[in-house]
Structure 1
Amino acid sequence: MQIQVDWKRRYYEKAAHVSLIVQTVLAANSGTDDQMIARWVLTRTSRGAVWLFAVLDDRRLPKYEPYEAAAHRLSSSLRGMPVILSNHTGLRYGILLSEKPSWPDMVEYKGWKKGMLQLGVNGRGQAVEMPWTEMGHMLVAGITRYGKSNFLRLIAEQARAEGWQLALCDPDAGRTFGKFSGDEALVFPVAKTLDQCNQALGQIQELVNQRSRLFSQVSDEPDTLDEYNQQAITPLPPILAILDEFNGAVMALGGPGGSFAKAATRLVWGAAKYGVYLTLAGQDFSKDIVGPVREQMTTRVCFRVANAATSRMILGRAGAELLDHKGRALTNRWGAMQVYYMDKQAIGAGNASGMTEAEERLAAYLRDHYDGKMTLTALQAYGMPERAARRMRDDWQTRGLAQMRPDRDNALCLVESGLDAGSDGLDTGLDGLDGGLDAVRTGLDVQGGLDAEERVNG
């Protein structure tokens, strides 16, 4: 066996052992042949992961299916070592020789961050996020109990906090979006039946048509919503339209050639210009449904799915059928990620500022003791190390919770919404103001007795 070693030789012995197992399995497995391995490549990614690739001679392969089916047996024979199968440019097995990335079991959503759509973290613990302007249309797949519904609520809640309007459709009695019922951000009530979803698609199209007419009335017809809003007297908010159980709805409402599917396709192809972005979600997707719109879906996210075919349909490669952790997903833009978990009870609850409970307590402390100034001295007095305090100052500025105030000696101060969130009840009961302030101070004194770690971590 010849192995091309292209970075270091310290993995050579392990690679040789793994390659022998791969050859043995392919030789013994029905329908596969170890002689189809054309070459071996040992390589390291930019993130430090070491992979051994068995590149097959696809010109001599009679068919791919037996080799695809052998991937699971290979992983079992290698005692659970991760094995991927790529057929993007020929067929090859990839075996991860280095340690698996350390993934968290769950990462809690911390709250709205101005201008950014926060999705989760990658295997190195780095945030997976993007400006809203880069989201585009989105395609989301995942079977029950693996995180799809949480993800849809996560993006809907952030869009609401960002000032977007929402159009939400879930023919499964609206279970995914129950907490959004009656929200002022909705352009129409949550669609909870197939008939309502069908009508909702027509309403979304009418919104697009209205915006098209408004765009045409501007002298220099704009190409984007941002361009329109720069010229318009009354700016228009973006709209996020989420259609859950989309595949099932299509099949129940006439199939891929029916009016529902065609209406969705028209929206995907024409709505983004007017600031209307679609997220199509479902447990499964067939080629005849996804095919007409797949390349228009800028962001594609795949939780665990029933089979490799669905994973390839969404992402262009297999792998999502092997995900075994709730909230874990593969994407077309960031690789694998652990999606933020958002408690349904947090939807719309005191989230105008996007603060967590711990952050609200900190805001109350800053307002009462430092007149709302978020200085390093104030944060350190609260129990934070200097480095963590600097990071928090930057984070709150980015999220719009604090801003520099030239009228207050250019100090970083909590914005008004942050002050309100952190001083619950201070503006009520003016007749009993003194007593109210005494009660708040008493509460802060109790909090002041906590140790530093508990104060910082909430």
Structure 2
Amino acid sequence: MDGWVQLGVNHSGETISQPWSRLGHLLVAGKTGSGKSVYLRLLAYQAIAEGAQLLLVDLDGATFPMLTNHPTLLAPIATTPQAAQAAVERALGECNHRAGLYLQMDGYPESLEEYNRTIVRHGSDPLSRLLVVLDEFSALMTTLGGPKSSFANRVAELGWRGRKFGVHLVFAAQDFTKQVVGRVRDQVSAAVCFRVRSLEAARAMGCPEAVRIPESRPGLACTDRWGLVQTFYLDKRMFGQVGPRSVLSRQEQELVERALNEAEGKMSIPLLVSWGMPERGARSLVESWELRGWLRQDPSRQNARYITPKLKALLAAFASNANSLSNSQDGQTASSTSSW
């Protein structure tokens, strides 16, 4: 199963969320103080909690300094145009690698979800998602030759190839011109426009109403998919806590500990049902964890599912950090919008 991305709340107070498999690529604009940087961090935070890898372009070094040397980075954070080019090439290289893996797989998978379901049945680890954030994208395009440049062509290629292989692109800038947006507009699933400098910039995003967002409403964005959305606020200090706490709820941690202590690491649907979990919930959990590489069938033990070293490592990491983390009931990834 697939994790969900929480994006914010609409005018009715309903939470706007999407499964990663349907999120696609995003176009994000907003001037300084509008909430754009917080929104990009929110996406990165939830990607880490989902077990994804990251490729980040942060030219001014102000959006993602807390993720420097983070273990989920596929390459160091790019802070120059040349490093940004290298990040795009690294992402395309990952697409090539995954294309080769898809060709070797039975059934010719056409999506990350299909590939992971098959590879798990073969007893191997699934592939993680890859979030690529290209902040200050408009400046990058200008510096590296414009909308018709080689860089623009490679980014466009990454856009149309990446989704099949679990690669999510976020194009972000303080504002966009029609020429820059034109190269990527057809590839994005949603445009998210915070407060911008001009009506022209808002129109280029397809969100002309964004020009009316007041300065007193940071985090409020106009979208072409969900209407007006008050995005969630994420305190930068929470990046020091992201990891096992965000991935496993306390109840799930207790299940893992019980399986290790009482069942030698076995975690089957009948066992979970015998412990009081509804069968539907047990099936959902087991299938989800198997796709994440946390459970694996053991042929030497009647193909029963057992906890993998990957899940044991998550549990151990949680235990070592428990004293520094606040209590959590459900692995919440974002604070209330009232924090803005």
Which residue does the alignment assign to 2:25?
A: 137
- 2: CA distance, partners of 1:262 / 1:307: 27
2:168 aligned counterpart, secondary structure:
strand
Q: What whole-Å deviation, never above 9, does each CA across 1:269-304 have from its counterpart, x for those lacking one?
A: 221111111110001111121112202100210001
- 2: CA distance, partners of 1:219 / 1:422: 39
Which residue does the alignment assign to 1:318?
A: 208
1:347 aligned counterpart, secondary structure:
helix
The 1:409/1:148 distance shift into structure 2, 3 A limit, reads closer
Which residue does the alignment assign to 1:205?
A: 92
Q: What whole-Å deviation, never above 9, does each CA across 1:306-358 have from its counterpart, x for those lacking one?
A: 112221211x2411111111100011111001111100010141542229xxx
2:69 aligned counterpart, secondary structure:
coil
Which residue does the alignment assign to 2:295?
A: none
Task: Identify the match of residue 238 of structure 2 among 332, 346, 361.
Answer: 346
Structure 1 residue 204 displacement after superposition: 1.1
2:18 aligned counterpart, secondary structure:
strand
- 2: CA distance, partners of 1:424 / 1:176: 25
> Residue 119 of structure 1 contacts residue 339 of structure 1 at CA under 8 Å; is this kept in 2?
yes
Q: What whole-Å deviation, never above 9, does each CA across 1:23-52 have from its counterpart, x for those lacking one?
A: xxxxxxxxxxxxxxxxxxxxxxxxxxxxxx
Which residue does the alignment assign to 1:228?
A: 115
- 2: CA distance, partners of 1:350 / 1:142: 25
- 2: CA distance, partners of 1:340 / 1:181: 23
> Residue 30 of structure 2 contacts residue 196 of structure 2 at CA under 8 Å; is this kept in 1?
yes
- 2: CA distance, partners of 1:420 / 1:206: 31
Structure 1 residue 240 displacement after superposition: 0.8
> Residue 353 of structure 1 contacts residue 418 of structure 1 at CA under 8 Å; is this kept in 2?
no
> Residue 305 of structure 1 contacts residue 311 of structure 1 at CA under 8 Å; is this kept in 2?
yes
Structure 1 residue 189 displacement after superposition: 1.1
Structure 1 residue 133 displacement after superposition: 1.3
1:145 aligned counterpart, secondary structure:
coil
- 2: CA distance, partners of 1:123 / 1:276: 30
- 1: CA distance, partners of 2:24 / 2:272: 35
Task: Identify the match of residue 273 of structure 2 among 399, 406, 413.
Answer: 406
Which of the two has greater helix per residue? Answer: 2
Structure 1 residue 161 displacement after superposition: 0.4
- 2: CA distance, partners of 1:422 / 1:215: 36
Which residue does the alignment assign to 2:290?
A: none
Which residue does the alignment assign to 1:241?
A: 132
The 1:425/1:188 distance shift into structure 2, 3 A limit, reads closer
Which residue does the alignment assign to 2:83?
A: 196
Structure 1 residue 217 displacement after superposition: 2.2
The 1:420/1:282 distance shift into structure 2, 3 A limit, reads closer
Q: TM-score with structure 1 length normalisation?
A: 0.54
Task: Identify the match of residue 36 of structure 2 among 141, 148, 153.
Answer: 148
- 2: CA distance, partners of 1:418 / 1:119: 27
Task: Identify the match of residue 124 of structure 1 among 3, 9, 12.
Answer: 12
- 2: CA distance, partners of 1:425 / 1:282: 37
Task: Identify the match of residue 168 of structure 2 among 252, 256, 277.
Answer: 277
> Residue 157 of structure 1 contacts residue 348 of structure 1 at CA under 8 Å; is this kept in 2?
no
Task: Identify the match of residue 183 of structure 1 among 70, 74, 79.
Answer: 70
2:245 aligned counterpart, secondary structure:
coil
RCO (CA 8 Å, sep 6+): is it higher in 1 or 2?
2
Output aligned runs, 1:300-311, within 5 Å. Answer: 300-311=191-202
- 1: CA distance, partners of 2:242 / 2:147: 42
Q: What whole-Å deviation, never above 9, does each CA across 1:338-382 have from its counterpart, x for those lacking one?
A: 111100010141542229xxx98xx8xxx8xxx99xxxxxxxxxx
Two-structure CA RMSD over aligned residues (Å):
3.2
- 2: CA distance, partners of 1:131 / 1:306: 32
Which residue does the alignment assign to 2:289?
A: none
Which residue does the alignment assign to 1:289?
A: 180
> Residue 169 of structure 1 contacts residue 197 of structure 1 at CA under 8 Å; is this kept in 2?
yes
- Greater Cα radius of gyration, structure 1 or 2: 1
> Residue 224 of structure 1 contacts residue 275 of structure 1 at CA under 8 Å; is this kept in 2?
yes
> Residue 137 of structure 1 contacts residue 277 of structure 1 at CA under 8 Å; is this kept in 2?
yes
Letter in structure 2 aligned against 1:310: A
The 1:272/1:336 distance shift into structure 2, 3 A limit, reads same
The 1:330/1:214 distance shift into structure 2, 3 A limit, reads same
Which consecutive residues of structure 1, in runs of 5 or more, have no partner in the other structure? 1-113, 373-403, 427-458
Which residue does the alignment assign to 2:49?
A: 161
> Residue 225 of structure 1 contacts residue 275 of structure 1 at CA under 8 Å; is this kept in 2?
yes
> Residue 147 of structure 1 contacts residue 327 of structure 1 at CA under 8 Å; is this kept in 2?
yes
> Residue 27 of structure 2 contacts residue 192 of structure 2 at CA under 8 Å; is this kept in 1?
yes
The 1:312/1:194 distance shift into structure 2, 3 A limit, reads same
Structure 1 residue 218 displacement after superposition: 2.5
- 2: CA distance, partners of 1:150 / 1:310: 20
Structure 1 residue 123 displacement after superposition: 1.8
Query: In percent, how many aligned pairs have the same letter?
Result: 37
Letter in structure 1 aligned against 2:273: P
